[in-house]
Chain A
Amino acid sequence: MRSLLVFGVAGALSVLASSRKLLEVGRLFELAQLFASGLSFLAVGVLLGPGALRLIQPADLEQMRPLVVAGLGLGGLLMGLNIDLRVLRRLPGAVYSATFAQSGLTFAAVAGPVAALLVGTGQLPLGEAVGPAALLGAAASISSGHLAVLWSRSGRLNRARGLSVALLAMLDDLTGVGVLAVALALGSGSTPTDGLKLVGLALALGLACGVLLAFLAHGRGESGELVAIALGGVGLVAGAAAYLRVSALIAGLVCGAVLSLVGGKAVAALVRALQRIERPAFLLLVFLIGAHVDPRLPLTWALLPVFVAFRFLGKVGGGRLAAAALDGVLDVPPRLGYALIAQGGVSLCVVTEYLLLAPGASAALVFPVGALAALVNEALASRVFARSLDGPARASVEPGV
């Protein structure tokens, strides 16, 4: 019955979120973007969860754990499917330099002050503060390109610029997941060597599942059977990861990357099948992540403004560095940093994965800040995205890039 409540709330919310009338009302309060992006589900999850109204109890969250795990696996799989290694190999080095510059600067801009705050207020000794600070830095470094895509589709942003922003956002996802892998290597095993083995196991699992799924889907037409293979594949990769207590996000990402590398008609059909469940699965995941957030911790509210402010500065500064690195290589908005403020779903997955795999004081600190910041940054991004277009145009881009 409790699961019916959770699904019922998520279903009702998804119907409301797709309602044009509600979007119109949301526009009055400048909340339309929150509804459209689905991050409003996070707020409702927080509200109904054990930390607020307690309509959803901790036991319900425990019961819903398999769905959270499946959502993380699906997130990783879809992220991996977007990685086309052949395209990545052909990208100019400047694109990687720009990604490293903007995500690295944001990482440093957030991790440093957070560590200082934790140590300065006596919450944690320096050795123990490094982990949470680095994880929050990783969550901060991730951006979402969905606003650029939306603006580009509606004709308000040049298509090439929209694609450039989406590309940078996709690449900085990998930075965030990379830092998560390091954090898990350090925090999820009894020793760093043990942790490293577990990350290796997640990679191997993703690889094996990717190869197997490509084989299973081979020769199947666009059919209900393919949808079932897609669903089963997500369950297998995410479930095996959860069973072995390694990262479902990382295993899913590797699995998706392998499928993307294999390519072909069967994989394309598999991707279409997965895209059909992507939106409802994402909304349910965001809602459940929200329900895991306990907003009663005072430290969360102390860290949240620090996180948001320093991330903003990091993105704006990093955006400048990135734009300079990309001059003549990619057509990017003049004030690139403003286009990268949205934090998106991947950062939510990163902090949730850390909460599930390295539970403890450090994860309890990182998780609510990372999750609530995604909500705040979504609202902020919808207001400042237009500013990314202000300013002088950059030099023209070399043909063929």
Chain B
Amino acid sequence: MTAAPGAAVRLVGASARLGLLVCLLAAIAAAQWVRADAGTPITLAAGALLLCALFAGTLAGELGLPRLSGYLLIGIVIGPHGLDFIPREGVAGLDLVKGLAVSLIAFTAGAELRLAFVRRAGLRVLGLAGALSGAVFATSAGALLALRPFLPFLRDLPLSQAVALAALAATVMVSFSPTVTIAIIQETRARGPLAELLMALVILGDLVVMLAFAVAAGWARASFGGPLDVAGLAGGVGWELFGSLAIGAAAGLGTTLYLRWVDRELPIFVCAVAFASAELGAELHLSPLLLSLAAGAAVVNLDPAQCAKLKGALERASMPVLALFFAGAGAGLNLSALRVVGPVALALGALRASTIYGTTWLFDRGEPRSSSRFAWMGLVSQAGVTIGLAALVRRTFPAGGAEIEALVLALVALNQLVGPVLTRKALDRAGEI
């Protein structure tokens, strides 16, 4: 009988495997000289990022970091902004995986949302989410306006337009990362009040940002001379919110019936539901995140016994998808933005983190032993939602939008690197891992 391999052996094993993979990728990149024009790089990006992420995740785990940090870092290293072993088009072509991963994560989070929890903690969470969003918005907008003389996209604007644009940028900066937070909770199998609170906060925070962004964008458009269509704005937000919930609930009902009556090939089935949610959500202008969340919540509240099977299937299906998704997210991170707007982003990042810390501290000052005192660490991450909103700002406001996007991307890059580590530490300190 052989002894279980020790941590050092696993560390060396994962490093050797990762090293060989990177060497092979280097050889493939070098073999380009044979072909002047390359073929489709998407399959290569998917295969290489998945394999590298697996071993980078193991390596990170052995070093006491979240696996997710390993996924992100290896993506940065081998991606187009790093060693360039994975072509840019290959990373861009992983859109299907992005949608699938976000939906799978939201499905998982929804499956934890029991009505009992909502009744028990709903008001408190709603209050904290509102306070956090409001405080981060106010400090970010204030800081942007204070830094106005140094920010080219605000400097030359009249005050009313500068305020509107700063409010829009601040709304984007408020956003959290449900994907990162929930993925860390899933990875560490954390169970307890902090894990529940974090999941609820990032989801509610996402909803608040969704609503606030629509309002801020409408205001900014109007201040730049565009029309202010209040009815259209309300209709769009209402459809996105309630349409997502309704269609998600229907999908949840369908899933429950499948689990009860068919109960076959569950990992493939949940992937199919998540994929359909992502694609339909995008097509119908719904929120794929909210749609999948509602589907998961419907299953757990309609039939908790069937939900246990769903969670097992989600866990089996999620691992490769999440590894690929986060490695792809890392590969898409352009750290060169940090060189240009790094100091401002660093200052804004520090302000955001300290505002989150201060708000949670104020909210919890009557309950010193409350697990939510660590919550601020789990709310630092920013990812897909933030990047998506920043891109929307660039498309909507060609003048100044690109600079806002660069600033936000730099902020996201910082928070992506620090956030997962902090989230894991928070769960660890709360004794939920």
Contacts and interface: CB of A to CB of B under 8 A. Distances in A.
A228 B46 contact: no
Contacts of A219: 5, 13
Contacts of A228: 50, 54, 319-320, 323
Nearest to B31: A244
B interface majority secondary structure: helix
A215 interface: yes
B280 A4 contact: yes
Contacts of B282: 1
B362 interface: no
Contacts of A229: 51, 54
A212 interface: yes
B48 A236 contact: yes
B44 A243 contact: yes
A233 B48 CA distance: 8
Contacts of A238: 43, 47
Interface stretch (A30-38, A64-72, A311-319): A64-72
A68 to B, nearest CB: 9
B340 interface: no
B24 A208 contact: yes
Interface in B270-328: 272, 275-276, 279-280, 282-283, 316, 319-320, 323
B51 A239 contact: no
B32 A244 contact: yes
A225 B41 contact: no
A70 to B, nearest CB: 5
Contact of B38 (A65, A208, A227, A243): A243
Given A3-B279, A212-B20, A242 B44 contact: yes
Interface in A207-233: 208-209, 212, 215-216, 219, 224-225, 227-229, 231-233
Contact of A232 (B24, B51, B275): B51
A235 interface: yes
B161 to A, nearest CB: 37
Interface of B: 5, 13, 17, 20-21, 24, 27-28, 31-32, 34-35, 37-48, 50-51, 54-55, 87, 90, 93, 96, 268, 272, 275-276, 279-280, 282-283, 316, 319-320, 323
A216 B320 contact: no
A244 B38 contact: yes
Contact of B47 (A65, A225, A236): A236
Give the 8 A-B CB pairs with smallest separation, nearest first.
A235-B47, A239-B44, A239-B43, A236-B47, A232-B51, A232-B50, A4-B279, A228-B320
A9 interface: no
A137 to B, nearest CB: 27
Given A4-B275, A231-B50, A235-B47, A69 B316 contact: no
A3 B54 contact: no
Contacts of A242: 39-41, 43-44
Contact of A4 (B32, B35, B93, B276): B276
B34 A244 contact: yes
Contact of B41 (A11, A233, A243): A243
Nearest to A216: B17
B47 to A, nearest CB: 2
A232 B54 contact: yes
A234 B280 CA distance: 29
B51 A244 contact: no
Contacts of A239: 41-48
Nearest to B43: A239
A212 B54 contact: no
A245 B35 contact: yes
